[in-house]
Amino acid sequence: MTLSVALGPDTQESTQTGTVTSTDALTAPDIPWNLVIWNDPVNLMSYVSYVFQSYFGYSEPKANKLMMEVHKKGRSIVAHGSKEQVEQHAVAMHGFGLWATVEKAAGGGKDGGSGKGKGKRG
Amino acid sequence: MAKAFKYGLKGITGYLEPAERELLRSLIDDVISMLEPAESASEDPLTALIGLDMNVQEPSDRALRRLLPNVTKNDDAASLEFRQLTERSLRENKIGALRAAALGLDTNDVVLSPADARLWSQALNDVRLVLAERLDIRDDADADHVHTMQDWSQAEDVESYLALVYNFTTWLQESLVQAMLQSMESRG
């Protein structure tokens, strides 16, 4: 499914704000970013799997595998892409109530707190 | 008593008693009032039009922070900047789903299209996230503890009442999501 489905009535505006974000991104477009989903004790496993299937179009086995990774490891990288792409995904995930963050995929030193060592590719 | 949602010929159907619909409506209204942005007098109409909000801050309320989380783990400045660009439309999106779910609470028999069902599942999820913060559910052990409260005769104080309400909305959302997954499967 597309972002428009997830965002409902304000798609137009949301798309524009997404574009605004990109103008100040001084990151080269080929540096990959990750979309991370974090575990929490509230979201239902079935619901998380449903979101992965319906929003990303993942197969049921793939959605369940990622959901179990979130549940057991505390986090899972569920998508990659440009900064703008993963930011759009993140705001869609927040729309569904999932706890999502974005991070640079590998090494990359510019961002403030990236020295924690948790940002490595999973 | 409510009946679990199920997927069938008419789509996704469920049944709620008047008192249950009233309860859900008030929970939904509470979350809507949390999400409605404060009016700012000196707002630039153009920035408002395109959804910008330069005065936005990370919410101090835990429940609201869970509904509108930071987009990065360790970079507060980047998270705030993203919030300025996106938080307003995220709030509006959530309020839209909550209002759509409330509109469907007018009759005991609930019949949902796939699009309605998605809005309902989002709304129920946001209601549960807020209840969970009020109940201080921080980890799976907390969640298990709350889950033991299943009998309305156990409602002795605000906390036990909230726990029962949380368990009811959890049960309702789980049955709805199961019906939605079945519906997705049968549509291929």
**Residue type present at position B22:** E
DSSP B74: S
Beta-carbon separation of A50 and B121 below 8 A? yes
Which pLDDT score is estimated for A4?
30
Q: Is A2 a member of any domain?
A: no
CA distances from B99 to B85, B89, B179 (A): 23, 15, 21
Starting at the edge strand found earlier in the chain, the sheet holding B3-8 runs: B3-8, B11-15, B109-112
Q: Is B157 a member of any domain?
A: yes
Minimal Cα–Cα distance from A84 to chain B, Å? 11
Beta-carbon separation of B177 and A94 below 8 A? no
Beta-carbon separation of B93 and A7 below 8 A? yes
Instruction: Find tokens 């033991």 and name the residue.
Output: B148
Residue A11 pLDDT exceeds 60? no
Percentage with pLDDT > 90 across chain A: 60
Nearest in space to A51 (alpha carbons), one of A78, A80, A18, A83? A78
Which pLDDT score is estimated for B53?
76
Which pLDDT score is estimated for B42?
58
Beta-carbon separation of A112 and B86 below 8 A? no
Which pLDDT score is estimated for A122?
35
Over chain B (188 residues), what is each successive 10-residue block's mean pLDDT? 92 96 97 84 66 83 96 96 94 97 93 95 98 95 90 86 96 97 87
Beta-carbon separation of B122 and A87 below 8 A? no
Residue A2 pLDDT exceeds 60? no
CA atoms of B61 and B140, how far apart (whole Å): 22
Beta-carbon separation of A21 and B82 below 8 A? yes
Beta-carbon separation of B73 and A13 below 8 A? no
Residues of A in contact with B125 (CB under 8 A): 43-44, 47, 96-97
Beta-carbon separation of A9 and B142 below 8 A? no
- List the single range of A40-49, A67-76, B36-45, B160-169 with lowest mean pLDDT: B36-45
Residues of A in contact with B178 (CB under 8 A): 46
CA atoms of B136 and B21, how far apart (whole Å): 25
Q: Is B167 a member of any domain?
A: yes
Q: Is A22 on the interface with B (CB under 8 A)?
A: no
pLDDT greater at residue A114 or residue A107: A107
Beta-carbon separation of B71 and A90 below 8 A? yes
Residue A93 pLDDT exceeds 90? yes
Q: Is A99 a member of any domain?
A: yes
- Residue A75 sits in which domain range? 30-108
Q: Is A95 on the interface with B (CB under 8 A)?
A: yes
Q: Is A44 on the interface with B (CB under 8 A)?
A: yes
Q: Is A15 on the interface with B (CB under 8 A)?
A: no
Nearest in space to B24 (alpha carbons), one of B98, B122, B112? B98
pLDDT tier, A30 (very low <50, low <70, confident <90, very high otherwise): low
Residues of A in contact with B123 (CB under 8 A): none
Q: Is B118 a member of any domain?
A: yes
ipTM: 0.92
Q: Which residues contact B22 (CB under 8 A, 6 or more apart)?
A: none
Whether A113 and A43 have beta carbons less than 8 Å apart is answered as no
- Residue B171 sits in which domain range? 3-39+94-187
pLDDT tier, A46 (very low <50, low <70, confident <90, very high otherwise): very high
Q: Is A114 on the interface with B (CB under 8 A)?
A: yes
Instruction: State how many domains chain A has.
Output: 1
Residue A5 pLDDT exceeds 60? no
Q: Is A16 a member of any domain?
A: no
Q: Is A59 a member of any domain?
A: yes
Q: Is A73 a member of any domain?
A: yes
> What region, left, alpha or beta, does residue B11 occupy, with left being phi > 0 and alpha being psi -120 to 50 degrees?
left
- How many interchain CB pairs under 8 A, A with B? 133
Which pLDDT score is estimated for B103?
94
Q: Is A37 a member of any domain?
A: yes
Mean pLDDT of chain A: 75
CATH value at residue A51: 3.30.1390.10
